[in-house]
A = this chain, B = another copy of it.
């Protein structure tokens, strides 16, 4: 049980940029809010009433236990949508991982968003349930492999994968400590499965091997 502490470096700058005319969308574009690294996008207990699309950067969504243990339930990268929740208050925290731009879609009171939200909610449900299998039944190397395969797919399936989050974030997503995450990275590197280009980016050398490990 590790204690989790965060230094809240800066508050989000809610200064919305001037809404530009929609170039591709049919609906007028929502303004983009900017959040510096570690800024809170919403907090547990806050009133909900919007959903969010990542323009650039990355977001972590998590819950805390009373003693500080943290479980990140999802990361959201550019283009992905998050923040819709049951009921009227948030059950989770959402924070920018790095400098992040987020388009906020507020629901008008009484507006019916079912059609937009249902596919997103179902997608999120499937993702969460697949992650349950990883946390419940896979060991450390399988968890990291599954994480890397997932990150690679979400970045277009390229060999080089960017990891915007820290080892602690990865650990809190996979239910592991940072030491174990680090050791598994080293093992995968020594096996020639991946190369560590720098702290925040890796190259997948043996994609099949990684894929097999994650199953």
Contact = CB atoms under 8 A, between A and B. Distances in A.
B126 A86 contact: yes
A123 interface: yes
A133 to B, nearest CB: 4
Q: How many chain copies?
A: 2
B136 A175 contact: yes
B135 A136 contact: yes
A14 interface: no
Contacts of A128: 125, 128-129, 132
Contacts of A115: 112, 114
A154 B91 CA distance: 19
A130 interface: yes
B133 A125 contact: no
Interface string A136-177: 111000000000000000000000000000000000111100
B137 A69 contact: yes
Interface string A111-122: 010110111011
A92 interface: yes
Contact of A137 (B70, B114, B131, B138): B70
Interface of A: 63, 65-66, 69-71, 73-74, 84-87, 91-92, 112, 114-115, 117-119, 121-126, 128-133, 135-138, 172-175, 215
